[in-house]
Amino acid sequence: MSLIGLPEKFLEEIFGYLDVNDMMNAWLAVGKDGSEGYWAQVCKREGYTRLEGFDDSWKNIVTYNINWRANKSGTLKYVLDSTNILKSQFSIFLDQESDLDS
């Protein structure tokens, strides 16, 4: 039996028993995301909180915390004179050179 065909609610129940890294990999494997409420519960369980002033999804907060603990924290890249101020949120790792440094 494949997990891919199961409804999201069942997957949330099953994946809730996994640690955070395995949980993220399991969601990637089935090609689904889980509900915002599910990720809020994961954040509460793990002690992750939203930063004041950031309207990010709970899943992004989980991802950011995993990357931070793995020493792969993302940086925010600002593009001046643009209506879309964030070029790529949390997708550029600190070990890569920034375009703003040159």
Domain locations in the chain as residue ranges: 1-70, 74-102
As a whole number of Å, the CA-based R_g of the chain is: 16
Can you tell me the distance from the alpha carbon of 87 to that of 80, in angstroms, rounded to the nearest whole number? 10
- The pTM of the whole model exceeds 0.95: no
User: Tokens 């890249």 identify what position?
Assistant: 77
The residue type found at 52 is E
Averaged pLDDT, 6-29? 89
Question: CA nearest 3: which of 37, 25, 26, 23?
Answer: 26
Q: What percent of the chain has pLDDT over 70?
A: 68
